Amino acid sequence: MTTNIRINSDRLWQSLMDLAKIGATEKGGVRRLALTDLDKQARDLVVRWCKEAGCSVGVDKMGNIFARRPGKDDKLAPVMTGSHIDTQPSGGKFDGNYGVMSGLEVIRTLNDFNYETNRPIEVVVWTNEEGSRFAPAMIASGVYAGAFDLDYGLSRQDVDGKTIGEELQRIGYAGDRACGGREVAAFFEAHIEQGPILEAENKTIGVVEGVQGIRWYEVTVTGQDAHAGPTPMPRRKDALVGVGDMVLAVNRIGLANPPYACATVGMLQVTPNSRNVIPGKVFFTVDFRHPDSGVLKRMGDELKAECETICQRRKLELDFKEIWYSPPVKFDTACVNAVQQAAGELGFTNRRIISGAGHDSVYMSRVTPTAMVFVPCKDGISHNEIEDAAQSDLAAGCDVLLRAMIERANA
């Protein structure tokens, strides 16, 4: 019954390119951090497009936007899709945006074909998925799924001390709907892979079975500010030198747990950050990932012990906090099968895959059957302005999404 329905590849591509103009960077990427003026502009555009496609639109207390296309039986729980439109500081056009534009394209396509699904279809834009401006990542889908309470979500601060709650008010996206507590029949998310596997194996579709675990740490090391000239080397309490050892420890722990472990120090703040002052204080972040929760836990324990040893040796003080744990996730078998079957019926080469990146689907999988559709990205590069993907692959992923959603919405 759904055989002849295909999405409009050019329209999907054009929407992605139009959305990417908001916050466009010189190298072809997007800088559109969560809850900035640019995020507001992008939200306004997406809301306008959804309304033009006939959807009713609502916003919840975490600023998540829900666009709804009614079902034949509109009292049934919706089949939902979506992702995020916030980006990294030097982000690309596709991370997150593809999942939202694919959802919109599903709705536009159903409209083109006058196709009524049994259940309603909803497209969601999740707030602050990236975790770049406000940590942790996936915070608003996390509140939606009950992993965090609303107060915790609204009180997360950026480096200037501004909270999510304040910034939602400021840009006009502090909605009145409850965040969560509503039945959802299934959740799907289309995304670029953000890694090299599909491209290397020449596969069009990644049937995502799950997501690896993530642990985030915030570490502050304190020594003593002192003059870079008169202070002899043996007398120094140089926090940055200690942190140098810790960065190497992070990397060594990552390398010591092949092939899956990932270990990154991505953010460093040196105080007072003056070229002729020995740094008295350094703050840095650690991102550890592994599909096995036991290995991931051991990586964190090992780092903490190593940081303590380094601080003792170098007479530094250590404040070591774990601020986020997102356990490894296995997606719902029926939803994963719906993706696999759709890819097969459409004749797209595909393989099962575990996501290296975090996604809002991680939290949604706690409250509803969930699966994801991956498409390849060029050279496996993401979180980079040069992030790129082929129009035909993006269209294929969206066709798979459409088919899987119709199947679940009529089941």
State in angstroms the smallest separation of the CB of 357 from ligand GLV: 4
State in angstroms the smallest separation of the CB of 130 from ligand GLV: 5
Measured from the CB atom, the residue of 98 and 148 that comes closer to Mn ion is 98
DSSP 18: H
d(CA 375, CA 197): 10
Residue 358 contact among ligand GLV, Mn ion, none, beta carbon within 5 to 8 Å by kind: ligand GLV
Measured from the CB atom, the residue of 137 and 263 that comes closer to ligand GLV is 137
Q: What is the DSSP string of 246-305?
A: HHHHHHHHHHTSTTT-EEE---EEEES--TTEE--EEEEEEEEEESSHHHHHHHHHHHHH
φ, ψ dihedrals at 318, nearest 5°: -120, 135
Residue 96 contact among ligand GLV, Mn ion, none, beta carbon within 5 to 8 Å by kind: Mn ion
Which residues does 139 contact at the CB level (< 8 Å), separation at least 6? 62, 127, 128, 131, 148, 153, 156, 164
> Which residue in the block uniquely carries the two structure tokens 């916030």?
86
State in angstroms the smallest separation of the CB of 178 from ligand GLV: 26
State in angstroms the smallest separation of the CB of 137 from ligand GLV: 5
Q: Are strands 350-355 and 205-211 parallel, antiparallel or unpaired?
A: parallel
**Residues within the interface to Mn ion (CB under 5 A):** 95-96, 130
Q: Taking a C-beta distance cutoff of 8 angstroms, is the pair 193, 374 a contact? A: yes
State in angstroms the smallest separation of the CB of 352 from ligand GLV: 19
Q: Is 2 exposed, middle or buried (0-12, 13-18, 19+ CB in 10 A)?
A: middle
Residue 291 contact among ligand GLV, Mn ion, none, beta carbon within 5 to 8 Å by kind: none
Measured from the CB atom, the residue of 130 and 189 that comes closer to ligand GLV is 130
Measured from the CB atom, the residue of 242 and 356 that comes closer to ligand GLV is 356
Residue 328 contact among ligand GLV, Mn ion, none, beta carbon within 5 to 8 Å by kind: none
Measured from the CB atom, the residue of 65 and 137 that comes closer to ligand GLV is 137
Residue 399 contact among ligand GLV, Mn ion, none, beta carbon within 5 to 8 Å by kind: none
**Residues within the interface to ligand GLV (CB under 6 A):** 130-131, 137, 357-358
Count of CB atoms situated within 10 Å of the CB of 3: 8
> Amino acid identity, residue 176?
D
State in angstroms the smallest separation of the CB of 317 from Mn ion: 33
State in angstroms the smallest separation of the CB of 140 from ligand GLV: 13
Question: Residue of minimal CB distance from Mn ion?
Answer: 96
Count how many residues are written for the chain.
Answer: 411
Measured from the CB atom, the residue of 357 and 375 that comes closer to ligand GLV is 357
Measured from the CB atom, the residue of 169 and 285 that comes closer to ligand GLV is 285
DSSP 234: G
